[in-house]
Amino acid sequence: MCGITGFVGSDGAIQIALESLKRLEYRGYDSVGVAYPQNNHIAVVRSAGKINRLLDRLDGEVPDVAVAIAHTRWATHGQPTEANAHPHRDCSGELAVAHNGIIENYDPLRDELQRMGHRFSSETDTEVLPHLIEHYLSKTSDLVEAVRLSLRRVEGSYAIAVVSTRYPGGVIVARKDSPLVIGLAEGSKLIASDIPAVLPYVKDVLILEDGDVAAITPETVTLSDISGKAVHRSPTRVGWRIEEAEKGGYSHYMLKEIHEEPAAVRNALRGRIYNDRIKLEGIPITPAEWRRFERVEIVACGTAYHAGLLGKRLIEQLIRVPTEAVVASEFRYSDPLVDEKTLVLLISQSGETADTLAAMREAKQRGAYTLAIVNVMGSTLAREAGGVIYTQAGPEIGVASTKAYLAQLVVIHLLAIHWAQQIGAPSMGDGASCSVLVNELKRLPELVAGVLQGEPCIKSLADRLADRSCFIYLGRGYDFAAAMEAALKLKEISYIHAEAYAAGEMKHGPLALIEPGVVVIGLATQPLTNAKLWSNLKEVKARNGTVVVVHTEGEAVQGGSDYQIPIPSASPSLMPAIAMVPLQLLAYHIANARGCQIDQPRNLAKSVTVE
């Protein structure tokens, strides 16, 4: 996730901006830069890698200036290089911009600006901003107005900081769909994309809202909206300790990341749906080549594998091509039936999982086309696969994957629909059209946000079940893929034995496990098989197991369950993304009630870079 900081005061601005930036390092980044006024222009010093590499560049030469903005970049458009690092300057070198977010219409804006003669030096979407502001400065001498005029042309999300010789001793900031705060001190002001960065210096902050534009000097903050109308915001007194603030006030990164899921889903969709058509960059596959694939192997580990299980069903439903989801550590030793007519889809949050990398290399050697779904830009998998689609979920710190999983499900849907549209297969097995699925994808962020409101009920259920020692998750169809992921969530953070089964398998053995105290969590979100699922749950209830059912709101809740978790209805393939939210929260609160080390569970690593 990108981080922005800045300081407006009397001196020492660069040091304070970079020290503040260090407090955002937990968010993950791959390049860094700082901008400050020097000799009637704006100097910019940037570096790929970490803040210390930038400090090495400045060592002993840190100019003593009163204004500076700094930025750590989590690459989304353009590789993590010095040239792509922020801040970015205009042609004149008199202004620089640091930006968090994604500018969806940067392509047409860049073309328009280049036709006007503006020269670009990076691959980033951000670089259109300084040139837009420079363009509008030819129409108004008011820098704040030039910033507002520029932002009115932008589609997408932004938190920006602008430093310019036109606004000596001050900084202009603005936000839309990406956080930004202003730290208030006597005779100086700080800016940051997150509260932890300013905590050591101030207790009071102004939390900007979407559409706010702020002109900041050491003594004043002048707020307006994007149209120029004055805006008032009251300061907030921050009571957090720094360690809490890095988690946004949540007790654990995992809980913070669950609550980031609406934004993660929104970002996975961002810039990828135009009039019901799916637009995916980074996949050099022509419609003829899409038609030539005769089978698909989805290869991954852990949570990513569980996303692949859903992908198997969805691709077979939409594309009618045989598709298998395989654990990476098995794939490479199975003498896989893979050739130039096979699409091998590799899913990985980190892009560094050794088993998945080895599987990709095996698939390439056998002539397959390898396509990666990855969260970390510039990771090994992203660089070596034939094509890559980024989940854009932002850095995931908790070892237990949550928001990245939902983003993987979204990208799998985008890919399957894109493939169907490329080959003209617009309908699914159940007759629903791709456009129905596209419209439901657009609703997914709000559906996920709605389910999060039910957290208090989930927590009280977790408190009741936290002392149990055996959990069985049951599902059919898409719900089985979700059950597999839900079981992993619980076992990896609470250390409770938890397994998932295809519900129809219960009578073929696992039913012997049922006795008082065993908890069975049924997922009943698939109209086609719900009746059978409810029968399975009744068999459990008849043997005095404890039954929890995750069901679609409005669905008749049949007898045989002790606790119910209703969730909103959507297309069958999207229900695992919605059902997973309460099940992640349930796992979290059970583990928390047991006093477990949730963000770093015993024996586990966030990225398993060894086989």
Active-site residue set: 2, 606
Burial of 337 (0-12, 13-18, 19+ CB in 10 A): exposed
Instruction: Please give the residues from 476 up to 495 whose contact with ligand AGP meets the rule CB under 6 A.
Output: 492
Q: Which helix or strand (DSSP H or E) is residue 365 part of?
A: helix 354-365
Question: Applying CB under 6 A, which of residues 126, 157, 329, 349 lies at the interface with ligand AGP?
Answer: 349
Q: What is the dihedral of CA 591, 597, 599, 602, to 10 degrees?
A: -110
Nearer to ligand AGP by Cβ, of 359 and 570: the residue is: 359
Least spacing, CB of residue 187 vs ligand AGP, in Å: 46
The answer to whether 303 contacts ligand AGP (rule: CB under 6 A) is: yes
Question: Applying CB under 6 A, which of residues 33, 78, 130, 302 lies at the interface with ligand AGP?
Answer: 302
Instruction: Please give the residues from 358 up to 417 whose contact with ligand AGP meets the rule CB under 6 A.
Output: 399-401
Rounded Cα gap, residues 396 and 400, in angstroms: 9
Least spacing, CB of residue 346 vs ligand AGP, in Å: 9
Least spacing, CB of residue 594 vs ligand AGP, in Å: 18
Question: Applying CB under 6 A, which of residues 84, 157, 356, 592 lies at the interface with ligand AGP?
Answer: 356
Nearer to ligand AGP by Cβ, of 55 and 598: the residue is: 598
Span from 30-38, 212-220, 344-352, 522-530 in contact with ligand AGP (CB under 6 A)? 344-352
Q: Which helix or strand (DSSP H or E) is residue 181 part of?
A: strand 181-185
Rounded Cα gap, residues 298 and 307, in angstroms: 9
Least spacing, CB of residue 399 vs ligand AGP, in Å: 5
Q: What angle do CA 146, 147, 149 make, to 5 degrees?
A: 65
Which residues are 158's β-sheet partners? 176, 177
Instruction: Name the residue type at position 165.
Output: T
Which position has the token pair 């930025």?
A: 71
DSSP state of 57: H
Nearer to ligand AGP by Cβ, of 146 and 488: the residue is: 488
Which position has the token pair 């589609």?
A: 155
Q: Looking at beta carbons, which residue is closest to ligand AGP? A: 302
DSSP state of 562: S
Q: How many CA atoms lie within 13 A of 422 on its CB side?
A: 21
- Let me know: does 507 contact 445? Beta carbons within 8 Å: no
Span from 230-238, 268-276, 345-353, 521-529 in contact with ligand AGP (CB under 6 A)? 345-353
Question: Applying CB under 6 A, which of residues 301, 321, 537, 596 lies at the interface with ligand AGP?
Answer: 301
Least spacing, CB of residue 304 vs ligand AGP, in Å: 4
Nearer to ligand AGP by Cβ, of 17 and 347: the residue is: 347
Burial of 76 (0-12, 13-18, 19+ CB in 10 A): buried
Give me the phi and psi of 21, to 5 degrees please: -65, -35
Least spacing, CB of residue 306 vs ligand AGP, in Å: 8
The contact pattern for ligand AGP, residues 580-609, with x = CB under 6 A and - = no contact, is ---------------------------xx-
Nearer to ligand AGP by Cβ, of 2 and 300: the residue is: 300
Question: Applying CB under 6 A, which of residues 323, 348, 494, 561 lies at the interface with ligand AGP?
Answer: 348
Rounded Cα gap, residues 120 and 90, in angstroms: 8
Least spacing, CB of residue 349 vs ligand AGP, in Å: 4
Rounded Cα gap, residues 444 and 325, in angstroms: 24
Nearer to ligand AGP by Cβ, of 76 and 401: the residue is: 401
Rounded Cα gap, residues 131 and 112, in angstroms: 10
Span from 95-103, 179-187, 283-291, 349-357 in contact with ligand AGP (CB under 6 A)? 349-357
Count, residues near ligand AGP per rule CB under 6 A: 15
Q: Per DSSP, which regions of 309-363 are E strands? A: 323-327, 342-348
Angle at which helix 51-58 crosses helix 13-22, to 10 degrees, equals 160
Least spacing, CB of residue 457 vs ligand AGP, in Å: 24
Within the chain, what is the greatest distance between any pair of CA atoms? Answer: 82
Span from 175-183, 202-210, 346-354, 540-548 in contact with ligand AGP (CB under 6 A)? 346-354
Site residues for ligand AGP per CB under 6 A: 301-304, 348-350, 353, 356, 399-401, 492, 607-608
